[in-house]
A = this chain, B = another copy of it.
Amino acid sequence: MKRNTWQREAVRTALGSNEGFVSAQSLHSTLRDTGSPIGLATVYRALADLAVEGEADSLQSLEGESLYRACTPGQHHHHLICRNCGLTVEIEADAVELWAQSVASEHGFTQPNHVVDVFGLCAECTAQVRPGR
């Protein structure tokens, strides 16, 4: 049976208090900095579990690192992510869902999956990069 430990809860809380996507390593550092003696392997396991249970979203950074974020459970959605500060907006895209389905079946593909992420500079970071322009 699955057991409740303060470690899992600590990871859940730390993830929830974060605006954007974070890596297991940086989340572990954050927890350690706040005095938690949690182990790195436990953070990895907790994040993987949360992702399976639908409580966390995960994606691969452009460098191949796995990143996690507290997620609105239940509904399928995608993300608009600031490349600079990590600010993330959950977006729904019914049109894209349908498109993915149809393009797969048009080519005889079954059991379609898709990866859809939009990256950019958020309004705030845009203002910082081009001040007064």
A binding-site residues for B, Cβ under 8 Å? 60, 62, 64-66, 80, 82-83, 89, 91, 93, 95-96, 99-100, 103-104, 107-123, 126
Contact = CB atoms under 8 A, between A and B. Distances in A.
B95 A122 contact: no
Copies held by the complex: 2
Contacts of A104: 80, 118, 120
Given A66-B64, A103-B91, A114 B108 contact: no
Given A64-B60, A116-B116, A123-B109, A93 B82 contact: no
Closest 7 CB pairs of A and B: A108-B123, A109-B120, A113-B119, A64-B64, A112-B120, A60-B60, A110-B126
